[in-house]
Chains A and B, each alone.
Chain A
Amino acid sequence: MSEHELTEDLLSAYVDDELDAGARADVEARLAASSEWQAILDEVRETRDGLRGLPQVDGPPEFWTRIMAGDPLQDDAEKDQVIDLASERRRRRIPRWGIAVAGAAAAAVVVIGVVAVPQPDRVRPAVAVLSNEHAARSSVGNDVISSLASIAVPTRLGR
């Protein structure tokens, strides 16, 4: 007797040739000693053979004509159908009230972001004013900034 438990479901595995040598020997020993197991084996084998003897089934010709008339994914209607099914599944996963709550939450975040969060001060360097002040303080004509003063004012850089 090997390590595995000798259970009845080994009989199906036995007729399907799905047992290793040890288990197979154990089952055969049990079969030799038990008429009950032998009867179950006969029934399992008969059922299995019956299933395997069922004829193949085929679809009606018009079904295959429709299928073979075109690659299913080349058919726009099929594409739409696939997309629609996917959308439907997604809709089913997220209930409508969930979508509404999520939308309201997103809107609230945007509003709070605009209203409550302090905006950085806009820096508007009054370049014209600065250059004019500098020109007034420094000696005329000998530095680079002073020479720009007359140009800087009319260009309205301060606006």
Chain B
Amino acid sequence: MAESVLELAIKRVMGWFLPVINLERVAYILHRITGFYLAIYLPLHIISTHNSLNPIAWGEELKLYSSPLIKAGEIFLIFSIFFHGLNGLRLLLVEYFNIFLPKTMPSSLYLEKILSLHNPQKTVLYIVYILSIILTILGTLYLYNILTLRW
């Protein structure tokens, strides 16, 4: 069956979502999307901070930052940083150090609860989602100068 490259690409990306949706899979998809977004943002940030050497160019850049499209991108950036960081921390602890996985395996077969998808790993996943949303809301409030801090 000959398929064009575009059809293959669409089929491969749709394969990320179907057929079973569970919370860890959603975290995997979001981790990829936020990682991709951050990897695109990083070179642009390096280029834009080059303007910090020149006060006139810096002023022009600040005017660019206040456009609503860039602001929306910045809100997604805040979510990306927090989600990718927290989920990455969870993946690091689970995959490299095997922290939230059972240390001793039970002796019975045909368990009702699937070990890797339940406590304590699931609790950490919920914490990651809730913390990212809370921190994104706080970050957005700070972005629009609604939230200010006094030290």
Q: Do A and B bind each other?
A: no
